[in-house]
Amino acid sequence: MSRSAFLDKGILLGFCFTVDTHHRPCLKYLTQEGIEPYITEEIDAAFERNKSRLSTRYQEHILNHVSQLTKSNFEGEVGPMELRKIRKGLLDPGNNAFHFLEYYYREIAPNVTSVYELKNQLRDLARDIEQLSLDRKEEFDELVQEWERGGEYPDVEKALSEIEGEDMWVCIDAHDLAVNKENETELATTDPKDMVDNGREDLILKNTSISKIIDLAIKPADRWT
């Protein structure tokens, strides 16, 4: 028997913006047999908003770093000493991309031989990041269907009033889907804090037609393994 799944926005983010960690469980969930995933109609706007906030921002930081490199005196061949100087002088710890750029300089950059190659790799990194989110969104769109809420549920709204803002409306949308589908409907989330923990799961299941909450958040123990 197939079942419907309403996805909260975190599934989109995990699927489209991480290379592996969140992407993997989200992909596994969305492609399992018998599941019909649904998503809010505002999904494109949510994607664009988060693309600006995540991948475009990282890209800007990387390109800015490359431009600082072009303006600097570093040119020609690079060795460990030059790379150390670049890391120290041109990487800004306040920059959002700092953590993975640091990793890049530590683990990958030692294999490059010139500043020219270094800059090209960094540009490639910026382009890969943008390309990843665009490709993944295309893939995501093929896996999910949009659901437009038809009904109004003042009693459910009232019962869920302790859940703040957007998360409450995700529950209402999922409830609307459940009311209109003959099969069981579950709500998939990457946000256990607001949807599962501290009695939230019971509150939602008790007051809506949602049959189950699926927690796809990466637990600390699962991370980076």
Partner 1 sequence: MASDDEGQGDLHAPEYLAYRMLKSLNELDDSPISRSKFWKLCCLADRYVQNEFDHDIGFPRHWYKYGELGEAHSINRSILNAPSARFWQGQELYPDREIPDSDFDISSDEQMFILRAVERIVNRFGKDSVDEIKEHQYENHPPNEFIKAYSQLRAQFEVADLDRQALLPDFDRGGREQYIEDMLDEMVVSFPEEEYGEVHDLYLRWDDTMRMMLNDDADAVELKQFLDVFIERLSEITIRFRHSQHIPKSRLERWQEEKPIKKEKLETEIQQKREQYLNRREPSGVLNSVSEAFDETVVEDM
Interaction site with partner 1 (CB under 8 A) = 10, 13-14, 17-22, 53-54, 58-60, 63-64, 66-67, 70-71, 96-97, 99-100, 102-104, 107-108, 121-132, 134, 190, 218, 223-224
Beta bridge partners, 40, equal 147
CB-nearer residue toward partner 1: 28 or 206: 28
CB-nearer residue toward partner 1: 21 or 209: 21
Q: How far is the CB of 176 from partner 1 (least distance, A)?
A: 26
Rounded Cα distance, 5 and 187, in Å:
6
**Nearest alpha carbon to residue 9 among 57, 54, 46, 51:** 46
CB-nearer residue toward partner 1: 38 or 104: 104
Q: How far is the CB of 27 from partner 1 (least distance, A)?
A: 14
Q: How far is the CB of 218 from partner 1 (least distance, A)?
A: 7
Q: How far is the CB of 199 from partner 1 (least distance, A)?
A: 24
**Nearest alpha carbon to residue 209 among 169, 180, 168:** 180
CB-nearer residue toward partner 1: 28 or 53: 53
Which two tokens mark 126?
């910026």
CB-nearer residue toward partner 1: 97 or 188: 97
CA distances from 58 to 49, 130, 131, 168 (A): 14, 9, 13, 30
Q: How far is the CB of 106 from partner 1 (least distance, A)?
A: 9
Q: How far is the CB of 96 from partner 1 (least distance, A)?
A: 7
CB-nearer residue toward partner 1: 50 or 207: 50
Angle at 17 between CA 32 and CA 92, to 5 degrees: 155
- Estimate to the nearest angstrom the gap between the alpha carbon of 154 and the chain centroid: 31
130 burial (CB, 10 Å; 0-12 / 13-18 / 19+) is: middle
Running DSSP on this structure, what letter comes out for residue 163? S
Its sign, for the CA torsion 167, 173, 178, 182, is negative
